[in-house]
Chain A
């Protein structure tokens, strides 16, 4: 039997490799039998089989004495099928050696033997526990579970105590009362080393993986009061750099894994949700969403509570299997599924408040007026109506704190979640729903609402051969925001602005008060998104260790944006006669089909795991925008039919197809030496003919040296030690579709009665894949029985053939062209993570994990940099975050004007000759301290985030110098006023042609004084919860009752000169500080 199976297997593999006809795969010639017999003797059947196949039977007549007659009718069945039928209930059994079928007499009747246990061992997730030891307490008898988690133990007494133990599971004892078969569910061991880690097309453990991975579990994400899961992932994983670009609901995040590999664009990681690729940037219309949500984040529609785990794949070993899409790392999101056990109902409800995390002190009216008058005095000018309506026409006794008025309100956050989950050994399910509602910090009723539903079903056939796993998530997000970010106004509006409404209750635009923000508040931006992510994994075990699997996924995202600009919201000075409506509809559909064949083989000392697969992936993105005006009334703005002018603009439809072929070979010798080889051949429709296909691959290896006998005992403190390394290549195809084609787009407005066409871009038919070579070396150590786990990684990523939108002078007609840059860019760095169980006893446990990333970025080569567009931007041997600037040497004590270093001594500051100062906008290191403290039934978790960086300060974001009609931070009060003032801020000025103004322009455009320290330490999140006592719960028939408070961004320590050091802007809402309280029931 075994030999034949093996033979078949070889044939099968051979067949795949040499690709002979598929019929040959499973039915060897001469293997099929057709029989039609009634009450026949076994001997008769044997003859019939021998006649039709090359099999020969070996038996004695004595053996067949007690045979039972057989009735059989099969047509072209395999020999095994026939034999299985014939040998049911016979006193004999058989084995196959090559082409001999050998008949054996049964020693005793196993079926009726009451002392034999047949059983299955699974873990909580429903996965079979392989290689678990099964022993009978107090006896020598023991066995271990096979690939299916099944085991057989003979001669067991009733009520014997059976002990199950294994590497990844917690030890468990069970009293056997004679159940047949015996199903056992074991808890997964809490040892972090044996934590299951999801990887591309499979799983591994922290102990056995050969690559650099980070993991965030559902607890870390679920216990934060956030609407976008990305907000909960900051500061948790080394090498994962997440920046919240705006505090606006539904806003965008910048996510970088191990730095910026591409000089310009295409630095987003690959997102995979349950095996299905997901959008890395929003499909919204940038013309509408850019100023509000900074483009938005596609993940914001996702419910963080639906997430079971997020794995961050960082190095080539982990990502090479994603080939062309893995260059910037991958983020795998796994949604929750049911667990074996009693059906559980989980309800939770929380409510809280949010405010901006950090503000800035701005001038009040007297300070502002003083600045203005001083500016005019410095410029030796008299205020007039063109430059000083704030002084001449407005009531200068008024004061409005615009920061408080416009972004200082309190947001209300409500989150309700419900889920039902459970299952038995064969079927597990989970159904969940959630509702999230968050209002804004602006005056007016703005809110983000999310409704999410998810379902997950896993079914395994009783024979454990067929498994189906289906996950689906559906989200509805409804975001109602003003059509602009009000933060802009807190700097641009003088504090003595006239009242927002006049005496008749109308918006006030008199006396040149043209920027009334309340006009803009009556304009709305509505973004409705619905999102369906569904995935089915079907797997069938053909033979022992041989699994055929297919991953089928479908994602559909639909987004409608609506911008309503009522006529009443505009300054009447514009003389408009109607309001405007912009409606944008976007649709993204993706399907993916990934057939895979996996072969696992465990031998005495080694394990093989071979995966072969293919990917077919298609995305269609469609978008259309309608602009309408000519409405008779503002009340009709939502009715496009009521518009006298309706234009269809920006209709796009793009198709993206991706085709790949991949294989992976994993070899494990005694859990000591591990080798992982991956390869992929990729084709992407984003490249021109001839450039569409490329090969990628990686090798990863690990040596668990703590398994070596010389280590055991010699260094008792070290309980685990692993050295791993990987090297491989990745590609990047994050570029626009059709970029290689010379395309012309229809114009928006017809002219002279006909419509126009315009070129949509410069095209380059020849660009190719970007090439990313990654090296990673990691050391993982466990101390004191793995209570302390330390992992240190060094990575070295080289990007060549960079695919960039190469910036061009506008003389070329466009600002960039898709281009392979000959530059070689190095991203290297150190990542450290320490997990420690500082205290653990019944009453008190404290888990501290700390992570630190020290990234480095260097431009290694750039042929002809000096004659390229980047000549004045980059420098070989320096970081690409470098800025070449004029060096501001301070304020001239006699003139009160900034002085810049004039390196070419021409008595003026000239570009690019005087760019002498080099400063970088980068994080020199970042990380977090994650604390989980449990005291009795109290649980306290908090994360401290720290970032050491330089960034643009408030000055950079100003268009106008201190002294003009814009409000300024109180920092400017320490300005130069009199000769011999030695001060770092120059005099106030309001005239663009003054020397001081020109100096100020130099400083904001290219001065080095606009870059300063933006480091910060932030209490990123905190959660305190209390579980009710067990006896109280039992009395009330509850499994658990928990009350909690959760906070985000509760405090920030930073010397940053600006609104918020994280998103660094004067016009974008800072991240919010959120505090919520909630209650959770489980029954």
Chain B
């Protein structure tokens, strides 16, 4: 009886405590121990840097994500670079320029770009409110975030046309965005690039000498490309100048087989592969050892080269399966295996020569243009260009861009679209080609979830 009473008292005391004691406390569980709360991320140099590193890690850790193979593959198919052997309906839609709004691969690309934009916005917003981060790191991260946001917006704009421009993390704002005009978006891209130029160092000290994070010159290269696309020849030339004028950092490699090596002298910004067992995804997917299971190079790429062009032999290889020869890009030489010796290229010097050449040609500086063009031609073992008139030179530069930058981050497709040649070049052998195919459709999921968005014509 006595024991029971004690038991009962304890129980009642327990109930009493439950009721008035610690209800609030009991269900206040604090933060999870495997994650960091946003406010604590931006309190130290290390964790704040990790937030930016997260973007690169996400991109390179994915199977196919934006600058990591995704754009090279899809745009290569949309243009005249690849033949599709995948048998995957969504991939075939790129090849046949028959994209539908429901295409999941296209949506994946869009998703990746906007998730990186979100993360850059989150970093930029948090940096403004942070304490405890050193000034140097704060500048570096703000610069990297702006540079990365700019490159995402650049690709989105050129692939999808006018896009919704997200510059904050607020979903209440972002989920009702309408499409902004391309001029407005370019303004934002230029502002971001310029900020990044000012904020970022003009060496590779922040990344320990590795060219794997954007620095001042990466922002400059992007800006040069942006001005080129905007037909702002003067600024394009000036930006390209400032990179070409730094031979202490950037020189064209004599050996074509060394261009894509890690931290090659030609590279301005590369991404470091992080997935185990392979080097770059491009090398892994494009290099063939049997019947192609994704893509192979098209005949039009093969015939685009002049005879004796060393790039035809150094950067293209083939495999023979069942008596049939399949060609593939061989810029990256490693299909799989470790160690990692090749990095995924984002910007390299030869593009800047070609940008300056084009800008100079457009501005009437024909000798300057041919000088730049010949730099690239000579490195490939070709004689100086024979083009004389402005038009001829401009065409020769386009041809050079095609064979120099093939299968690199969609340059061929973007060039065809920006120069207005897409229909003329592609319609002869792309059955069902429509002039509206130059822009990808706004993904259906986006239209469903944001009624302010409109579809591109033709979809």
Contacts and interface: CB of A to CB of B under 8 A. Distances in A.
A505 interface: no
B166 interface: yes
B11 interface: yes
Interface in A515-544: 540, 542
Given A511-B291, A644-B338, A809-B445, A757 B53 contact: yes
B49 A754 contact: yes
B412 to A, nearest CB: 19
A656 B26 CA distance: 10
Interface string A811-822: 111110100000
Contact of B15 (A614, A873, A965, A991): A614
Contacts of B37: 741-744
Q: Which of A381, A385, A389 has the most C-beta atoms of chain B within 10 angstroms of its own C-beta?
A: A385
A692 B276 contact: no
B61 to A, nearest CB: 4
B232 interface: no
Contact of A998 (B49, B92, B100): B100
B42 to A, nearest CB: 10
Interface in B72-130: 83-85, 87-90, 92-93, 95-98, 100-102, 107, 110-111, 114-115, 117-119, 121-122
Contact of A993 (B32, B53, B164, B430): B430
Contacts of A571: 293
B87 A867 contact: no
B336 interface: yes
Interface stretch (B216-224, B345-353, B450-458): B450-458
A760 to B, nearest CB: 6
Given A809-B174, A867-B176, A751 B288 contact: no
Given A614-B15, A744-B54, A809-B446, 8 more contacts: A25-B9, A509-B290, A575-B336, A653-B34, A684-B27, A744-B35, A747-B61, A751-B272
29 contacts: A22-B9, A393-B322, A512-B85, A548-B11, A575-B289, A614-B19, A644-B276, A647-B276, A661-B19, A692-B24, A738-B32, A741-B31, A742-B38, A742-B39, A745-B35, A747-B53, A750-B53, A754-B50, A808-B171, A813-B117, A813-B166, A813-B171, A814-B115, A814-B118, A872-B447, A959-B89, A993-B432, A1005-B101, A1005-B444
Contacts of B93: 992
Contacts of A657: 26-27, 29
B115 A810 contact: yes
B31 to A, nearest CB: 6
A755 B58 CA distance: 11
B98 A744 contact: no
A630 B338 contact: yes
A578 interface: yes
Interface in B268-288: 272, 274-277, 284, 287-288
A630 B277 CA distance: 7
B291 A381 contact: no
B447 A573 contact: no
A572 B175 contact: no
Interface stretch (B184-192, B206-214, B403-411): B206-214
A685 B31 CA distance: 11
Nearest to B82: A386
Contacts of B14: 595
Contacts of B447: 872, 911-912
Q: Top 7 closest A-B pairs, CB basis?
A: A813-B118, A993-B432, A756-B54, A645-B276, A742-B38, A756-B53, A749-B274
A510 interface: yes
Contacts of A54: none
B119 A813 contact: yes
A752 interface: yes
B11 A550 contact: yes
Interface string B317-353: 0000110100000000001111000000000000000
Nearest to B39: A742
Contacts of A661: 18-19
Contacts of B199: none
A745 B20 CA distance: 36
A602 interface: no
Contacts of B47: 757
Nearest to B49: A754
Given A760-B35, A810-B115, A911 B455 contact: yes
Contacts of B107: 810
Interface string B249-268: 00000000000000000000
Given A747-B54, A813-B114, A659 B166 contact: no
B423 interface: no
A813 B114 CA distance: 5
A540 B4 contact: yes
B50 to A, nearest CB: 4
B93 to A, nearest CB: 5
Contacts of A52: none
Given A811-B164, A993-B431, A386 B83 contact: yes
B41 to A, nearest CB: 5
B29 A655 contact: yes
Interface in A881-910: 910
B407 to A, nearest CB: 17
Contacts of A16: 12
A869 B38 contact: no
Given A616-B26, A811-B166, A762 B13 contact: no
Contacts of A744: 35-38, 41, 51, 54
B1 interface: yes
B135 interface: no
Nearest to B319: A573
B289 A1005 contact: no
Given A750-B57, A751-B60, A757-B50, A573 B115 contact: no
Nearest to A994: B432
B431 A991 contact: yes
A219 to B, nearest CB: 38
B86 to A, nearest CB: 9
Contacts of A1064: none
B385 interface: no
A629 B289 CA distance: 21
B248 interface: no
A512 B101 CA distance: 29
Contacts of B49: 754
A748 B53 CA distance: 11
Given A651-B34, A809-B450, A756 B55 contact: yes
Contacts of A697: none
B448 A873 contact: yes
A746 B36 CA distance: 8
Contact of B322 (A511, A743, A811, A867): A511
B27 A659 contact: yes
A728 to B, nearest CB: 22
B173 to A, nearest CB: 9
Contacts of A644: 276, 338
Contacts of A572: 289-290
Contact of A752 (B18, B115, B272, B292): B272
A1014 to B, nearest CB: 23
Nearest to B94: A992
B291 A389 contact: yes
A499 to B, nearest CB: 16
B8 interface: yes
B169 interface: yes
B450 A959 contact: no
A757 B98 contact: no
A462 B165 CA distance: 77
Given A752-B210, A807-B449, A959-B89, A629 B35 contact: no
B90 to A, nearest CB: 7
A629 to B, nearest CB: 5
A1001 interface: yes
A749 B272 CA distance: 11
Contacts of A685: 27-29
B5 interface: yes
B8 A749 contact: no
